[in-house]
Homo-oligomer: A and B are copies of this chain.
Amino acid sequence: MQNALRKFKAEIFQALSHPTRIAIVEMLREGEVSAGTLYENLGLEQANASQHLAVLRAKQVVVNRKEGNQVYYSLRSLLLVDVLDTMRQYFEIQLAENLGLLDEIRQEAAISGEEGS
Binding site for B on A (CB under 8 A): 1-14, 16-19, 21-23, 26, 60, 76-77, 79-80, 82-83, 86-87, 89-91, 93-95, 98, 101, 104-105, 108-109, 112
Contacts and interface: CB of A to CB of B under 8 A. Distances in A.
Given A14-B17, A79-B89, A90-B80, A98 B7 contact: no
A92 to B, nearest CB: 10
5 contacts: A2-B23, A7-B19, A9-B22, A11-B17, A79-B86
Q: Chain A interface mostly helix, strand, loop or mixed?
A: helix
B105 A90 contact: no
Given A17-B13, A18-B10, A98-B60, A1 B79 contact: no
